[in-house]
Amino acid sequence: MSTLVPPAPTTDATDTPDPRFDDLGLPAALERAVADLGFVTPSAIQAQAIPALLAGRDIVGVAQTGTGKTAAFGLPLLASVDAGTAGVQAVVLTPTRELAMQVADAISSFATHLTGLGVVAVYGGSPFLPQQRALARGAQVVVGTPGRVLDHLDRGTLVMDQVRYLVLDEADEMLRMGFAEDVDRVLSSTPDRRQVALFSATMPAPIRRVAEQHLHQPVEITVARQSSTVTTVRQTYAVVPHRHKVGALGRVLSVTDADATIVFVRTRGAAEEVGSALVERGISAAHISGDVAQSDREKIVDRLRTGALDVLVATDVAARGLDVERIGLVVNFDVPREAETYVHRIGRTGRAGREGEALSFVTPSEQSRLRSIERTTRVPMEQVQIPSPAEVSGHRVTRLLDRAPGRAELGRLDVYREAIAAHLAAHPGTDPVDLLASVAALAVGDEGPAARTGDDLDDALERARLTPGRTERTVSHDDRPPRERRRSDTHIAGGPPRWRVAVGHRDGLQPGALVGALTGEGGLTGKDVGKIDIFGSFALVDIPGGLTADAVDRLARARVAGRPLRIRMDTGPRPGHGASRPSHGPQRGRS
Ligand code: ADP
Ligand code: MG
């Protein structure tokens, strides 16, 4: 099933505000099911088809995939079926077996609160008997391919005398597959007074003829190809060499005002890699891909919805149909090859009338792909720059200062006032604002312009800007094998200061043992030790107050879980430091 392209302008354009599912006149049991599925705003085709079908009209709907057609016909279909009476009352024809199964599943999910309602999928290439049994049990809704539906009809295992609702889904596809005659026969085998809904992405003459011959004064609904999201979401791009994408992403996420962000990546591996890299940087992130079990995916999406999670890294498949209002930013970590994929991706934001932004990372050599997307969406993308370390720090300090009044209310500031007074007395002539500025810089982890950040992100960004025609490889001077190259992607400059120890849960590291070493050998108190994230072969720990050179020396030699700690300031993974990739995701030790 493809993703939903949100409400789109229609040929008979209406300027009325978006309706809600509750306004469409659906029975309460169906409204509840739709709410369970997280649908709030009906798509354009739903908003128009549902009232017409509920009113008993035939319809012809011209709409692309991803516009939400299944609910557009499935909900009124269920409204017209009597779950208390056995026997086939509604038939949906689909071109393929996969679609038949998908549509049957979707209709079943809409029918969860209708007791006694049976949905059966019938398709070729699979034994008759189970389908026949399901039909014999009195299923009221049949979804199937035309050939198999006719087979059942001919065998007498499917009786269509009571059918009052017929749907032709993807009619043009059925015709292309040579089902024209079969479709005709099914239509002719149903009672004259049944209602018909015909959906097609295109309207060639043969489909018009079917409509003229079998439908009764149909309402025509056309949903334009281009979704309105394409025009309401601010679309931007930034030129970023491949190996610096994670670094750039970290900065973007540090300064965004969006409540929640989706980062789209192409592969499952990339989802895990980028997700873990963000977690390593202290960002509230998780990833979903085809590898993540459906139930886990749902839990993660729920956390995103409730605000327990801010960043979701996802593959296209895993994020299908995702509808979370909080998403204010979509980042395309890679530019999709298909413009349609791009449109689906950016449709995850700007939901329910909110503002949205889409940012696409494009490598210097990929810029032509943007042009082809722009040709499809007919909306130019605006080039933006990745925030500089100074901008990231500026954003952090603003947020820090915003929190200051709240902290003041909590009291116990005397200890700080006294320390500051003592400092000013000891350093006469110090400007208190200068002092506050230095303290703020330390608090946000800004070590100044001379700090060795370990990456050349800004250099690379600068060069990519100046030499847009050059290839990525030339720009990044990266000759290491791809695996190592990916590792160093995970470095982000300007993050909060964290410390890395070379012991992880593969070594059986427990948070308590690490705290023990830090307090024992390092001379810290328990309160000096902040959040600990334990990965496969290493762990990261927040020590907001920092460590003295002496303490680092002692700790570097200290052993935990039988292994030397090798503590160092975390500057991100570097080649040659071994496999430091999180193997099982972090274990939250303390926070
Ligand atoms: P189509 O048949 O037009 O290709 P589908 O009916 O398969 O589209 O719907 C595409 C996706 O959009 C599905 O995952 C579906 O659950 C989701 N969806 C449909 N309607 C809505 C809605 N109103 N709000 C949110 N998601 C929706
Ligand atoms: Mg469909």
Q: How is the beta sheet containing 90-93 ordered, strand by strand?
A: 119-122, 141-144, 90-93, 165-168, 195-200, 59-62, 219-222
Tell me which of 330-334, 360-364, 536-540 is least confident.
536-540
502-515 residue pLDDT tens: 888 777 888 888 88
Decide: 350 in ligand 1 pocket, CB within 6 A: no
Domain membership of residue 465 (yes or no) is: no
Which of 4, 99, 343 for a ligand 1 pocket mutation test, highest count of atoms within 8 Å of Cβ?
Answer: 4
CATH code assigned at 261: 3.40.50.300
pLDDT top residue among 459 and 375 = 375
Q: What is the pLDDT of residues 246-301, one digit of tens each?
A: 999 999 999 998 999 999 999 989 999 999 999 988 889 999 988 888 788 888 98
Ligand 2 center to 460 CA (angstroms): 44
Confidence of residue 233 (pLDDT cuts 50, 70, 90): confident
CA 504 – CA 310 distance, rounded (Å): 26
Confidence of residue 29 (pLDDT cuts 50, 70, 90): very high
109 lines ligand 1 (CB under 6 A): no
Residue 512 burial (10 A CB sphere; 0-12, 13-18, 19+)? exposed
Whether the CB of 200 sits within 6 Å of ligand 1: no
Q: Which atom of ligand 1 is nearest to the CA of 71?
A: 6
Q: Which protein residues have a CB closer than 5 Å to ligand 2 (ion)?
A: 69
Distance 70 CA to ligand 1 centre (A): 7
C-alpha pair distances (Å), 373 with each of 236, 262, 341, 464, 516: 12, 19, 10, 21, 55
Do 195 and 127 share a structural domain? yes
CA–centroid distance, residue 410 to ligand 1 (Å): 48
Contact between residue 42 and residue 21 where contact means Cβ atoms under 8 Å apart: yes
Q: Which atom of ligand 1 has the smallest separation from the CA of 64?
A: 3
Mean pLDDT of 304-330: 87
Ligand nearest to the Cα of 98, by number: 2
> Are 436 and 362 members of one domain?
no
Residues 49 and 105 in one domain: yes
| Domain co-membership, 161 together with 184 | yes
Asked if residue 196 and residue 97 are part of one domain, the reply reads yes
If you take atom 5 of ligand 1, which residue's CA is the nearest one?
68
pLDDT > 70 in the chain, percent? 84
8 A C-beta contact, residue 125 and residue 97? yes
Residues 504 and 379 in one domain: no
Looking at 335, 353, 388, the residue that finishes a domain is 388
Query: Rounded distance, CA 100 to CA 168, Å?
Result: 11
> Is there a domain that residue 129 lies in?
yes
CA 2 / ligand 1 centre spacing (Å): 7
Would 320 be classed as within a structural domain?
A: yes
pLDDT above 90 (res 61): yes
3-state secondary structure 71-127: HHHHHHHHHHCCCCCCCCCEEEECCCHHHHHHHHHHHHHHCCCCCCCCEEEECCCCC
Domain co-membership, 380 together with 395: no
Q: Are residues 148 and 34 in the same domain?
A: yes
> Rounded CA gap, 300 and 286, in Å?
7
Examine the fold and report which residue of 399, 421, 451 is the final residue of a domain before the chain moves on.
Answer: 451
Residue where one domain finishes, among candidates 388, 411, 434 = 388
- Mean pLDDT of the region 224-233: 58
Distance 184 CA to ligand 1 centre (A): 28
Domain that holds residue 494: 473-588
**What's the CA gap between 255 and 565, in Å, rounded?**
33
Tens of pLDDT, residue by residue over 345-364, are: 888 887 656 678 999 999 98
User: Residue 41 — pLDDT band, cuts 50, 70, 90?
Assistant: confident
**Looking at ligand 1, which residue's alpha carbon is closest to its atom 22?**
39
Domain match, 133 and 201 both: yes
Does position 15 have pLDDT exceeding 60, yes or no? no
Compute the CA torsion angle 505, 509, 511, 515 (nearest 10 deg): -140
Cα gap 245→354, rounded to integer Å: 27
Query: What Å distances lie between residue 233 and 9, 21, 209, 261, CA to CA?
Result: 15, 23, 39, 14
Indicate if the pLDDT at residue 476 is higher than 80: no
| Average pLDDT over the chain, rounded to an integer | 82
Spell out the residues 6+ positions from residue 473 whose beta carbon is closer than 8 angstroms to its own: none
Q: Is the beta carbon of 2 within 6 A of some atom in ligand 1?
A: yes
Q: State whether the beta carbon of 519 lies less than 6 angstroms from ligand 1.
A: no
Note the ligand closest to the C-alpha atom of 107: 1
Q: Among residues 106, 110, 108, 148, which one has the least CA distance to residue 131?
A: 148
Question: How far apart (Å, rounded) are the C-alpha atoms in residues 45 and 407?
Answer: 50
Comparing 463 with 530, the larger pLDDT belongs to: 530
What's the rounded Cα separation, in Å, for the pair 504 and 563?
10
Residue nearest to atom 12 of ligand 1 (CA): 4
The band of 523, judged by pLDDT with boundaries at 50, 70 and 90, is confident
Please indicate, yes or no, if residue 518 is contained in any of the structural domains. yes
Instruction: At 331, list the tokens.
Output: 């980042």
Regarding whether 79 and 214 lie in a shared domain, the answer is yes
CA distances to 241, 334, 457 from 367, rounded to whole Å, are 11, 11, 19
Task: Give the C-alpha separation, 217 to 195, whole Å.
Answer: 11
When pLDDT is averaged across residues 519-532 and rounded to a whole number, the result is 82
For residue 207, the surrounding DSSP H or E stretch is helix 205-214
Bigger pLDDT: 7 or 390?
390
Ligand 1 close to Cβ of residue 1 (< 6 A) = yes
Q: Does residue 582 fall inside a structural domain?
A: yes
**Is the separation of the CB atoms in 242 and 363 below 8 Å?**
yes
- Written as one letter, the residue type at 184 is D
CB-based contacts of 487, cutoff 8 Å, min separation 6: 573, 574, 575, 580, 581
For residue 66 and ligand 1, the question of a CB distance below 6 A is answered with yes
Q: Is the minimum distance from the CB of 571 to ligand 1 under 6 angstroms? A: no
Which ligand approaches the C-alpha of residue 223 most closely? Answer: 1
C-alpha 143 to ligand 1 mean position (Å): 17
Per-residue DSSP letter, 581: S
Domain presence at residue 552: yes
Distance CA 330, CA 235 (A): 10
pLDDT the model gives residue 445: 83
In a domain, 373, yes or no: yes
Instruction: Look at the chain and report how many structural domains it folds into.
Output: 4
Are 384 and 237 a contacting pair, CB within 8 Å? yes
- Whether 65 lines ligand 1, by a CB cut-off of 6 Å, is yes
Q: How confident is the model at residue 453 (pLDDT cuts 50, 70, 90)?
A: low
In a shared domain, residues 211 and 74: yes
For ligand 1, atom 20, which residue shows the shortest CA distance?
Answer: 68
Among the bound ligands, name the one nearest to the CA of residue 71: 1
Cβ-based neighbours of 7, under 8 Å, separated by 6 or more: 18, 41, 42, 43, 44, 47, 227, 228
Q: How far apart are CA 487 and CA 246, in angstroms?
A: 10
Give the domain CATH number at 527. Answer: 3.30.70
Q: How many CB atoms lie within 10 A of CB 422?
A: 10
Same domain, 177 and 242: no
Query: Does 133 fall in a domain?
Result: yes
